[in-house]
Structure 1
Amino acid sequence: MAQTDSSIVIDHGRSSWSDLWKKEDYLAIWLGFLIIAISLTAYFGFGPREEFAKKIAAAEQIQSAEAAKAPFKTIAWYKAENDKKKLKGSNSAFGKFITHWTKHPGSWKTNPADAFIRTDAQAKAMNEKAMPVYEEAKGKAAAAFAAAQQAESAAAAAAFKDSALNDAAVATIKDWQSAEKKAGAAKGKTTNKAYNYIPTLVGLCVFLVVIFGAGMALMKKSFTEFAKGFVIVFLVATLAYMLGGQAISKQYGFGAEAWGVLLGMVIANSIGTPRWVLPACQVEFFIKTGLVLLGAEVLFSKILAIGIPGIFVAWVVTPIVLVCTFIFGQTVLKMPSKTLNVVISADMSVCGTSAAIAAAAACRAKKEELTLSIGLSLVFTAIMMIAMPAFIKAVGMPEILGGAWMGGTIDATGAVAAAGAFLGEKAMYVAATIKMIQNVMIGVTAFCIALYWTMRVERQAGGQDVGAGEIWHRFPKFVIGYMLTFARKKWSTNPCCRWNCPWSAGASASVSVRFSSSTT
């Protein structure tokens, strides 16, 4: 068996029962499960579960009655739907508490301090500035509602049998919904509040030190050394968040991930990463834990909603692109490193950074190859999220088709949603849904790469047969956690679980990725 090589993402080794609490992959699963368990316990123990269930049942009863009465979605149906959407775990007392302690630096334009502190005077000035726009939008929404009521009443007077009146009602109700959304967005800009994120960031840092430090201790590494270095990692990640929140940076899609990589490169190639910080630079550990949590966000209902065309784009086109780009790299570009080739192929075909980590672990790629792949992904993501919407508009491509194209092409999920928003609301939802469906491919991709690498690539290179044990050892175990959390979402039947608590997967996965990118 080969000796351990620290430059490789995952090396050869033997599996034993102690791996379950000593190995990074398994610990990523347990930490992810722990955070999810805390979230569920908090929701079911402290959240307004019974209240939510009653309100959901009442709203669905109204919707059923309206669906039986009219051949289209009525005003009452949409009001009931809006009532359901208002039910969020973040509105409960415990939800507000957790949301408060998981804040990250906010947006700012000219003064970086605004990302951390906003005074009452600043909040008041922002609200007063936005109020005229809200009042105008509110008036338009009221007028649209009156028109929708009139059109629906006319359709009801004809017992909903006049197709022309029904079509008119559908159109006016759609206009009312659009006006309501604009009014809601305008209202949100009038509710700015003062904040001071510095204490909350300190609390978040302590929490993450405890969570990941416990994992480091189980891996027989020093908790104290990790804690000391993690403070610097956290500060760099916070700086990346702050820079990513700058107005111009956000406009051009240069987010916290890109700033994290850039800062990491500057530090590593100038003053160098201090040796006492290195114990906290656990890139794979952070991302693997985030990936486990990501599985909790991939809702099976999204897969069903997008239909066969969306599933075809995500689950058929994706592996074809991966295989074709790998073959292209080997036969046309003559790339000397097959591991770099397949990591880049997985990165660009599946879902960017997350897939790159899984692929690198499966094929034992070098860490610098993983870093290069992620860097390329971030560069092209920033370019494509601006260029693709412009091209789609220029050629007159339908909004839904354009959204599906971007969802299957742009790497990062956040960038996909931002690019889709440039086209319109429908494009944004289609693009984000396609990307979330693609995320499910992470586990399958990792397994197939591990199988191919052990059975074909390394067998050709060394002439040795590889057993099932080595394939299992090579397979990135954190992907199992990802798939299990996805399965939990798929089979969850409790109606209250339709609304994710704010302290669950999303925030934690995002934080993990930010830390890893800033230390790459």
Structure 2
Amino acid sequence: MTDDPAPESTSDTVEILPPPPGLSEDIIAIIAGVVLLVLCFALTMGMGERQVEGEGDNQEVTAIVNPLKTWVGKPGGWDRNPVDSFLGGGEKPKPTWQGTLGVMLILAVFLSLLAPLMRPAANPGHFLVGFLILFALATLSYVLAGQSFIKSYNLEYALWALIVGLAIGNTIGKQAFGAFGEAAIRTEMYIKTGLVLLGAEVLFNKLMTLGQPGILIAWVVTPIVLITTFWFGQRVLKMKSASLNMTISADMSVCGVSAAIATAAACKAKKEELSVAIGLSLCFTAGMMVVMPALIKAMGLDEVVGGAWIGGTIDATGAVAVAGGLLGDRALEVAATVKMIQNILIGVIAFGVAVYWTTRHESEDGAKPKVDISEIWKRFPKFVLGFIGASIIASLIYAYADQGDLLVSGTTAVTKGLRGWLFCLAFVCIGIDMNFRQLSSQFHGGKPLILYICGQTLNLILTLIMAYLAFKVFFPGSESAIP
């Protein structure tokens, strides 16, 4: 009598079932993100340097500088000699090597201590060696992005990190890292920890600067585009993988990589499907943040409407800031605020997808859908709770603490730097894991590309219409609240 065949492996999905011993990447991300945030807030409150302007009774504290600020940075710009990215160039050189070294030490030590708690558990020594290799590759990505000619085309670090990872993953391969790679290449942990840190930057108080028009643009258009794009992929393009369809739809309609990670976990998308969505997002983001400001100027749109259009359509928050800044300060403020309002939907969309996938999509044909709360909770990406919690705590400090605005800005000046490095590490890992042969099967017939183009086109049209209606028809004059 033979044994029953082993169940098919699900190691290529975002969430591994059944889980081995240890804490999931979501829980590790929450622990890591919360500890880093608490540490940074505590240092800002207790040891932050107050910068004062004025004299006597007219003195005013204008900034609170976290003592870690000089120890958290990234390589700077350079022209001909890449060493200048660390030592600084020009008449007033600003060395950046200390900030790069500081981030490496903070993350290497902290994450290595968490390594035994991870799933699967990792040897701290193996994790440390693997992390240092990944950090070197991430540093290379930052250096490449800082070259003056490359920087003039706004080719951000994320794209270079992906390219560096792809070059390794499709030549020597992930297996070349051995046990060190197995311990340290943890894409979702890095990016989810970064997203928890991002929560402290999404302040409910600031979001109300634009109030109703910002909410109208971000919260009305986004669900319409998401649902329509998913329907189009399933009914018109007839995509074989519904999870790939949903991941691309969320990536394109909400906020790029962040939404893709959360949605992929909720619908159990395969890792190569997540890689396809992220790859499409990065490529289109790089183009849109260059083309959209020029297009807005050519169309004669004002900064407010143009900024809202950028904030609601370009995927990455950093790219939104770059594109908005090319239009002007007011456009930058509007674009960043609309994008932050849209970022709140990450948790809502993830929960909605988890419910839909459990009660509708995976129900048997003809069977009555049923709500399984335990399955919904299992699917729900827990790190989103860390993101929301960080946002609430930072918003409360901003609103009620003495000099709360300065405490939050002093803290996020550090956490932004840590978040950028965590994202860069994640993109390197994505590239290493991305095998062109496996990836090519996901582009069969070009349907993912067609889906993204059609969905983004709809997004561009609806967001522009809604931005004009919000600021010029429904709430005229609301832009006066923008400094």
What SS does structure 2 have at the residue aligned with 1:459? coil
Letter in 1 for 2:101: V
Structure 1 position 421, deviation (Å) = 1.5
Cα distance change on mapping 1:396 and 1:244 into 2, 3 Å: same
Letter in 1 for 2:63: K
Letter in 1 for 2:375: E
Q: Indicate conservation of the 8 Å contact 2:30/2:196, yes or no.
A: yes
User: So what's the TM-score if we normalise by structure 1?
Assistant: 0.75
Letter in 1 for 2:425: F
Q: Indicate conservation of the 8 Å contact 1:302/1:437, yes or no.
A: no
Other-structure match for 1:150: none
Q: For residues 7 and 371 of structure 2, what CA distance do their matches in structure 1 show?
A: 13
Q: For residues 461 and 379 of structure 1, what CA distance do their matches in structure 2 show?
A: 38
Q: Indicate conservation of the 8 Å contact 1:36/1:504, yes or no.
A: no
Other-structure match for 2:402: 495
Q: Indicate conservation of the 8 Å contact 1:101/1:203, yes or no.
A: yes
Structure 1 position 208, deviation (Å) = 1.0
What SS does structure 2 have at the residue aligned with 1:110? coil
Q: For residues 438 and 215 of structure 1, what CA distance do their matches in structure 2 show?
A: 32
Other-structure match for 1:507: 417
Letter in 2 for 1:287: I
Other-structure match for 2:63: 88
Greater CA deviation, 237-246 or 5-14? 5-14
Q: Indicate conservation of the 8 Å contact 2:203/2:395, yes or no.
A: yes
Other-structure match for 1:106: 76
Larger Rg: 1
List alignment gaps of at least 5 residues for structure 2: 1-5, 431-483
Q: For residues 194 and 41 of structure 1, what CA distance do their matches in structure 2 show?
A: 27
- Correspondence 1:393 to 2:297: yes
List alignment gaps of at least 5 residues for structure 1: 60-79, 127-191
Q: For residues 342 and 19 of structure 2, what CA distance do their matches in structure 1 show?
A: 32
Q: For residues 437 and 247 of structure 1, what CA distance do their matches in structure 2 show?
A: 33
Alignment of 1:45-60 (within 5 A): 45-47=46-48
Q: Indicate conservation of the 8 Å contact 1:243/1:256, yes or no.
A: yes
- Correspondence 1:275 to 2:189: no
The one of 242, 245, 262 aligned to 1:341: 245
Structure 1 position 355, deviation (Å) = 0.6
- Correspondence 1:366 to 2:367: no
Q: For residues 278 and 265 of structure 1, what CA distance do their matches in structure 2 show?
A: 17
What SS does structure 2 have at the residue aligned with 1:383? helix
Letter in 1 for 2:378: H
Other-structure match for 2:387: 482
Letter in 2 for 1:455: T
Structure 1 position 39, deviation (Å) = 1.1
Name the count of aligned residue pairs.
412
Structure 1 position 305, deviation (Å) = 0.3
Q: Indicate conservation of the 8 Å contact 2:13/2:268, yes or no.
A: yes
- Correspondence 1:316 to 2:220: yes
The one of 220, 226, 246 aligned to 2:127: 226
Structure 1 position 215, deviation (Å) = 2.3
Once the two structures are aligned, what percentage of the paired residues are identical? 43
Give the aligned CA root-mean-square deviation in angstroms. 2.5
Cα distance change on mapping 1:194 and 1:483 into 2, 3 Å: closer
The one of 191, 194, 198 aligned to 1:290: 194
User: So what's the TM-score if we normalise by structure 2?
Assistant: 0.80
Q: For residues 335 and 300 of structure 1, what CA distance do their matches in structure 2 show?
A: 38
- Correspondence 1:195 to 2:95: yes
Q: For residues 40 and 157 of structure 2, what CA distance do their matches in structure 1 show?
A: 25
Structure 1 position 427, deviation (Å) = 0.9
Other-structure match for 2:139: 238
Q: Indicate conservation of the 8 Å contact 2:233/2:239, yes or no.
A: yes
Q: For residues 42 and 2 of structure 1, what CA distance do their matches in structure 2 show?
A: 50
Q: For residues 2 and 472 of structure 1, what CA distance do their matches in structure 2 show?
A: 23
Structure 1 position 2, deviation (Å) = 7.1
Greater CA deviation, 323-332 or 275-284? 275-284
Q: Indicate conservation of the 8 Å contact 2:230/2:249, yes or no.
A: yes
